[in-house]
Amino acid sequence: MQAIGQEQTVAFLVDSTCEVFEKMVLRKLTQGIPIEGDALRPRSNVVATVSFAGAESGIVAFYSTRDAACEIAGALLGMDPAEVNGDMPDAIGEVSNMIAGALRTKMTDAGTPCAISIPTVTVGSDFYTKYVSDVRRVLCPFKMGDQEIFVELIRQKQ
């Protein structure tokens, strides 16, 4: 087993996210510049997290507004975004599961095997997420048309 550098892991995460959106959501994403640190997280109504553990441990988090989440769910399910409603959390859970799964495959192929958890999706308007362990965080912004989405890599410090 070998450790993968932070930069490489972030690159894997960005590639995984773009791959999922191009193949499944049929949307091309424009990447922004990753932001490292504990700065305030983006205003989001939908947060999905998937944990990974093995040679390395951490979390992949997906953030979006409700409108963006409904657009994504609508594209996945072949529905008008306005009609998505109760299907949105499951769809976003599946998106985060696929992003984390693709990242897991890349990390495993690079010599850092790990397993992933089932996704957790939180929907609301007045909450924040906090990670108790000593972690290193990198937030990756993307544009999906005129919407913004974010994917974050939270790695437990060794």
Binding positions for other proteins, rule: CB under 8 A: 19-20, 23-24, 76-78, 87, 90-91, 94, 97-98, 100-102, 104-105, 108, 116, 118
DSSP 3: P
User: At which residue do the structure tokens 């544009």 appear?
Assistant: 143
* CB of 142 vs other proteins, minimal distance in Å: 15
* CB of 128 vs other proteins, minimal distance in Å: 28
Instruction: Give the nearer residue to other proteins in terms of CB position, either 64 or 97.
Output: 97
Instruction: Give the nearer residue to other proteins in terms of CB position, either 37 or 86.
Output: 86
CA-based max dimension of the chain: 47
Task: Return the axis-axis angle of helices 66-77 and 88-109, rounded to nearest 10°.
Answer: 80
Q: Which residues contact residue 78 at a Cβ distance below 8 angstroms, ignoring those fewer than 6 apart?
A: none
* CB of 19 vs other proteins, minimal distance in Å: 6
* CB of 76 vs other proteins, minimal distance in Å: 5
Instruction: Give the nearer residue to other proteins in terms of CB position, either 32 or 101.
Output: 101
For the chain, counts of helices (H) and of strands (E): 3, 8
